[in-house]
Structure formats: structure tokens, C-alpha cells
Structure 1
Amino acid sequence: MATTNTIGVDLAKNVIQSSIVSTSGIELQNTELTRTKFAEFLAKQKPSLVAFEACATAHYWARYAQAQGHRTKIIPAKAVTPFRQGHKTDKNDALAVAEAANRPNIKEAPLKTIEQQGIQAIQRSRELLVQERTSLSNHIRGLLLEFGVVIPKGFAALNYRIPFVLEDAENGVPHIYRPTLHRMFNRYLKLREDIDFLNEQVKQIVKQNDGCNRLTAIEGVGPISAVLLFSTLGTGEAFKNGREYSAYIGLTPKQYSSGGRANMIGISKHVANHRLRSVLIQGARAYVHKLKEPKTPKQRWLWELIQRAGYGKAAVALANKNVVRHGHC
């Protein structure tokens, strides 16, 4: 598709700043628009490269721009910052996005389809409820400990012990607190019910979605890993190969090389998709620890790596290999 101008967009909740830069690098316009006016603006423009800084609503507007005949890019904020000149203002940010969009080797964030965003929304809601359940269980345990009531670790122990705590009038828990404890426990049970519902929904998504279903055949990849991998990849156009996808997740070693000498210093703690990387490594670790008698070439490779480097590094290497394979699919 032949494009004319580059449109850099700085998104916000109610107002959107857009900078139009010509093919010769001259800024033609830099205006603030409402959401409605911005939609009309995109519909009127000739086919252009429309670049967004990766943030809330970026995927929605990128899909809308594509529907209007434009080519789109979503650029991580870290890649935009070096091109900002002057103070941090909406105008300067929009111009910086347009500048970054035309630079070579700028890594894009993958554009997600509406289905992938829906799956991602389900998974993030599940994670929120899991965090709330853990927080609430710790809250209940901590308060009861102040009254001398000790509940062992684990959700099963909490489920079993709390009804007995409520029934026992002589355990030291004050009567004034008991109605609140009852309500908190009911809230905990409702969270457990909602998590079970979302877990079942994830399983159904994996069964019905061919891409997710095929991912579960990979070693150490379960339903949660599958939906996260599928929703994170986007259309796949942002990555040249599986290696780039693995680097985006944060499974490849950082490189600090100079003078022709390559120096690998381990995976990054900061530049990574921490949520997905953690799930993939946990799944790979479980598979690695269960491997006893290698039969396939991949299992033999993994077994030799375990003997040479240990279970931890072998798990990361397996997760990396799985993602590289997925990126080629």
C-alpha cells in the first residue's frame, strides 16, 4: 500500500493529539482532537502511516485506522522517548511518535485482533480475582492470628477451618468481629466460585480456538500459557521470526558486546512480558522435573542440558525453544 504522510498520535482518555509529517520530514499539522473528531479526521485522511504510542486504546484506534485504509504501527513508549524534543507535552509526544515510526529497527508492539483482546481481558480478570483471593485469605489469617487462632497455609486449610472458627464461641475471637469474619469468608467463597468459572471459560476457549488448542501440545504449555501466548502474539506482523517473539517476551539472553567479542549476561529483569514469561517458565520447570527417560531428539537435548546446566537454566531454554517454535507457526 502506497502511503503519503506519517501521522503520529498521542492518545489520552478524552483528547487525542495528532501530528502530520510529510514524506520530506516537514510537520504539516499538530492538533488536539476529541475522540469523535479524531475518528472523522482518520476517515478524511489519504492513506498514511498512522503510528500510536503503546498505551490504553491503542489497539482499538489502530484497528479503526486500518479499516479506514491506513497502515499502522504501535510503538512502545520506551522507543518513543529518545525522539522527543523539548518539554514533555502532547504536541511534542505526537511529533516524537511520528519521528520514531520512520526510523529503522524500531520494534513494534504486536497489534491484537479483537478476539485476542477479548481473550486477554478474560485472563487479566482471572488474574485480578486470583490476587484478590490470595490477599483476602492472608487478611483473614492475619486478623485471626491476633486472637490466637492459627490457620495453616493453603486454601484448603482455610476452607476447612473457618466454619469451625465461626461455630466455636470459646476460641477467643470476639463476638463483635464474628459478623465481619462471616462476611469476609463469604466474599472469599464467592471469589473462589468466580475463579472456577473463569478457569472453565479458559478451558472452553482452548478447546474451541484452533490456535490455542495446538499450543497445548507443546511441552510445558497448559491452557493458561496457551491463551496468553495466543493473545500476546497479535497478528504476528510485528515479528520477523520466532526469535524476535521470544526476545519480546524476555526469554533470550541480553547481549553486551564490543570489539567483536559477544558477551551474554542472562535474561532481562526489566524488559520483558513478565506475566507470560513467568507462566511459560513455570510450565517448563514442571516438565523438566518430570523428565526421566528421554526418547525424542528434543527430550535428549533437554536431558543433556539438564546434566550440563541444571534444571533452572534448562527450564528457561525449553520455554525459549517453545516460543521460537510458536513464532514460526
Structure 2
Amino acid sequence: MCRNPGVITVRERVGPGAVIAMEACASSHHWSRLLQSYGYEVRLVPGQFVKPFVKSNKSDRVDAEAIAEAAMRPRMRFVAVKSQRQQDLQALHRVRDDVIQQRTAKANQIRGLAAEYGITAPVGLNQLRKAIPEWLEDGDNGLSDLFRQILAGLHHDLISLDERVEVLTRSIQQVAERDPVSKRLLGLRGVGPLCATAMAIELGDGQQFRRGRDFAASLGLVPRQHSTGGKARLLGISKRGDAYTRKLLVHGARAVIRHHKVDEDPLNQWISHQMARKHPNVVSVALANKTARIAWAITRGATYQPELAAKAA
């Protein structure tokens, strides 16, 4: 018998094979896996799809009723339950991204404090790394002994954050080399270990998406729509879903566009044709959209064929 009293209560009141609906939130994937192990069908409903069904004032009973009503809708889109391995990899990405933000904040702090003493470094983190030791060794730059001690400590913090980012990046690369889905995604142009593993987290087995466009839409890579009176109006991309994975896809697409060779293969020809008519940022998003659709097909068992990549839609 499970020791968790909440699960015991569910097992006593709900028969095996029943559908249990929950709002997707913190710990929901853990509870979903646990309930699935007892034979229940679990449906995770996104919070923004539950809210329209909340009536009157907020209470636990009203929230439960709203979740139940949302889960019974025939066209409701549910959140796929992540495996423990997917969550482990997601934690790696989130911690790495947070450490990078801390490193950026630390670098900005060093620049701001040094600027108060009339000392500046060229743009770029690498330039700052080179400049700090020079500032500390220069005895004629007017820095006091106290500020040199402070600057030395900040430099040590920056080095520690660099090392932490490197360790996390290596861990993600090792996972990408072992994970079969990520290894197949690495064959896509503009997809490295970070992007491949991030998409593997979002896709899983790919069964929650009916087609590649649905996966691209879940990442916010398709146009928003505002249509009325029979007139369709398409706006900029929706930017819904996971901003982190979308960022990696767009940056990868920019790298492909920057280094593409004209008329080398069908995909490069497609890029050249798009670049002649549209802004590079628009082409980058279009290529990221195409890459996401191809990634969904590969996850579902398709083989990547570079000669057909330009026709993917």
C-alpha cells in the first residue's frame, strides 16, 4: 500500500481505470506518474484552459468543478506527462540558464562598479575576462587597495560561474550523446546538443501532437490569428509555449542563415530565396518553424532526408 495519504484516499474512492484530471502545476508530473502506476488515466489541463470554466468566487470546490468540466471537453488540449528522465534533463537546462543569467548580472555589476572609477572594458564577456586581471595589476589606474580586494572577489565569482556553466554544458552534451532521440535530432541543421535535448524534453514520444505544425504552434512559432466576419488576419508569431526552446531554435536558425552557401542544396536555395524577399529575422523564425516540424517527424520515426528539408511544411 502506498504510504502517501492522498493516494490512499484516491484509491479508496476511485476505481481502477478511471480518469483523473488535474491542473498542470508544480509536482503535477510526479503525481501523474504515480497515479498512472496504479492504472489510472491522468489528464493534465493547462491552467489557462481551466480559468474560463471557473464560476463566481474562487474556492477549492469551484476550482475542482472547473478542472472536471475542462477535462471533459472533446477538443481540449492536455499536457503530456513527462518522464523522470525528461524532468532530470529539464532541470539541467533550467539550472544552466539560471547560472548564465547570474553570470551576466555579475559581469554587468563589475562593469558598473569599474566605470565609477573611470575604467571600462570593450563589449563582450571575453573582453571583460581579459581586462579584469589587467586592472588588478595596473598600479597607476587610481584604484584603491579596498576596491582591488572587492574586484578580486568579483573576479573569483565570475570564474566560478564560468566553471559551473561549463560543467552543466558538458552534462547536457553527454546526455545528448546517449539519448537516442537527441542523437537523431542532432542531424538537423542548426541543432546542437542544447537544442536537441530541449526539443526531446518537449516532444517526448511526440504522440501528444497530431502533426508537426502543432508542435511548432506549441512553441509559439506560428502566426497569431485575429479573424472576424469571415476575414482572416494573421499577425506576428504567437510566442506562446516554451520560450527557452523557441530561443534555441531561432538562434540555431540564425547560425544556419549566417553560414549558408547559395545553391549548395535545396535547403540553402530555399534560404537564399527567402532572404531575397524578407527580413533576416523573419527568415530565421521560418527556418526555426521548419526545423521544429522536421524534429516532430523524426521523433515519430521518420528518417531525416536533407534533400527534402526545403519542402517540409
Tell whether the structures are fold-level matches, with TM greater than 0.5: yes
Q: CA deviation at 1:179?
A: 2.1
Matching of residues 102-251 of structure 1 within 5 Å: 102-251=72-221
* SS of aligned partner of 1:266: strand
Deviation at 1:235, TM superposition (A): 4.1
**Normalising by structure 2, what TM-score?**
0.88
2:263 to 291, 294, 299: 294
Give the CA deviation at 1:190: 0.7
Distance in 2, matches of 1:313 and 1:202, equals 29
Instruction: Indicate the percent of aligned positions where both proteins have the same amino acid.
Output: 34
Corresponding position of 1:40: 8
Find the aligned partners of 1:96 and 1:202 in 2 and give their Cα distance.
39
Matches within 5 A, 1:309-324: 309-324=278-293
Q: Deviations over 1:251-283 (max 9, x none)?
A: 1111222344332112114x2321111110111
Q: What does the per-residue CA deviation read over 1:274-329, in whole Å, with 9 as the maximum and x for residues that have no partner?
A: 11111101111110122222343333333222222232222111111111122223
Contact 1:148–1:172 (Cα < 8 Å) also in 2: no
Question: How many angstroms apart in 1 are the aligned matches of 2:207 and 2:56?
Answer: 33
Q: How far apart, in 2, do the equivalents of 1:112 and 1:216 lie? A: 21
Q: Provide the rounded CA distance (Å) in 1 between the counterparts of 2:137 and 2:236.
A: 54
Q: Give the partner amino acid of 1:316.
A: V
**Structure holding more helix per residue:** 2
Report the alpha carbon displacement of residue 207 of structure 1 after superposing the two structures with TM. Answer: 0.9
Q: Which residue of 2 aligns with 1:87?
A: 57
5+ residue gaps in structure 1?
A: 1-34
Among candidates 57, 60, 66, match of residue 96 of structure 1: 66
SS at match of 1:86: coil
Which residue in the other structure is 2:304 paired with? none
After superposition, the Cα gap between the structure-2 partners of 1:42 and 1:238, relative to the gap in structure 1 and judged at 3 Å, is farther
* SS, match of residue 250 in structure 1: coil
Residue 306 (structure 1) aligns with: 275
Q: Is the 8 A contact 1:144 1:173 kept in 2?
A: no
Q: Distance in 2 between matches of 1:149 and 1:187?
A: 20
Distance 1:286 1:79 in 2: 36
Superposition CA RMSD, Å: 1.7
SS in 2 for 1:85: coil
Change (3 A) 1:101 1:149: same
- Deviation, 1:232, is 1.4
Matched, 1:276 2:245: yes
Using the TM superposition, give the Cα deviation of residue 76 of structure 1 relative to its aligned residue in structure 2, in angstroms: 1.2
Quote the residue 1:71 is aligned against.
41
Equivalent pairs counted in the alignment come to 294
Q: Is the 8 A contact 2:261 2:268 kept in 1?
A: no
Q: How many Å apart are 1:43 and its aligned residue?
A: 3.3
The answer as to whether partners of 1:42 and 1:68 remain within 8 angstroms in 2 is no
**Measured at CA, do residues 160 and 297 of structure 1 come closer, stay the same or move farther in structure 2, by a change above 3 Å?**
closer
Taking structure 1 as the reference length, what is the TM-score of the superposition?
0.84
The Cα shift of 1:191 comes to 0.7
Q: Is the 8 A contact 2:82 2:204 kept in 1?
A: yes
* Residue pair 1:281, 1:319 contacting (<8 A) in 2 also: yes
Cα displacement string for residues 164-196 of structure 1 (whole angstroms, at most 9, x for unaligned residues): 222334322222232222222111101101111
Distance 1:304-1:168 versus aligned 2 partners, 3 A rule: closer
In 1, the alpha carbon distance for the partners of 2:19 and 2:206 equals 18
The letter for the 2-side match of 1:113 is S
| Deviation readout 1:87-117 (Å, 9 max, x if unpaired) | 1222221221111101122222232111111
SS of the aligned residue for 1:236 comes to: coil
Q: Partners of 1:224 and 1:177 in 2: how far apart? A: 38
Q: Which residue pairs with 1:22 in the alignment?
A: none
